[in-house]
């Protein structure tokens, strides 16, 4: 079972790796951003209730209760091939599935698993609350 402290540690690890910024967890305002991260084509503001996705000047909020799943296309073969190249900036798609739509994020390899773990953990915590 994931705790909020575990999610905080994951955010801090990403921040220490130079990916994103951990802001602080406000236990009273569930909509307040607790982690922000920007990639080449997208910026994310993650709160305890969902993720705000900004791309092409458009801001879209996806709440964790409407998020049905997160799909990864990162296979062992893709990971192995990417890790053998010098490009850490290569982007991989991560699909956020909702009931009526899909949002595809392009995420660098070094942030991929950390970001996926954070989103899945916050979704799990949202379901339990």
Question: How do residues 74-90 score in pLDDT, each as one tens digit?
Answer: 777 776 776 666 556 67
Q: Can you tell me whether residue 120 is helix, strand or coil?
A: helix
pLDDT of residue 82: 66
Nearest-angstrom CA–CA distance, 107 and 39:
7
> In the chain, what are the domain boundaries?
4-128
CA distance 72 to 121: 15
Q: What is the pLDDT of residue 22?
A: 94
Please state the pTM of the whole predicted model. Answer: 0.86
Classify domain 4-128 by CATH number.
Answer: 2.30.29.30
Give the SS3 label for residue 59. strand
Name the maximum alpha-carbon separation found in the chain. 45
């Amino acid at each position: 079972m994931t705790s909020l402290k575990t999610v905080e540690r994951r955010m801090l690890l990403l921040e220490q790796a130079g990916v994103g910024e951990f802001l602080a967890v406000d236990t009273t305002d569930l909509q307040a951003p607790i982690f922000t991260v920007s990639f080449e084509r997208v910026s994310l503001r993650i709160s305890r209730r969902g993720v705000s996705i900004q791309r092409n000047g458009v801001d879209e909020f996806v709440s964790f209760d409407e998020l049905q799943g997160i799909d990864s296309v990162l296979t062992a073969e893709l990971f192995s091939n990417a890790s053998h190249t010098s490009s850490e900036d290569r982007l991989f798609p991560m699909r956020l599935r909702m009931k009526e739509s899909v949002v595809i994020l392009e995420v660098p390899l070094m942030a991929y698993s950390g970001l996926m773990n954070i989103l899945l953990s916050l979704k799990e915590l949202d379901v339990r609350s």
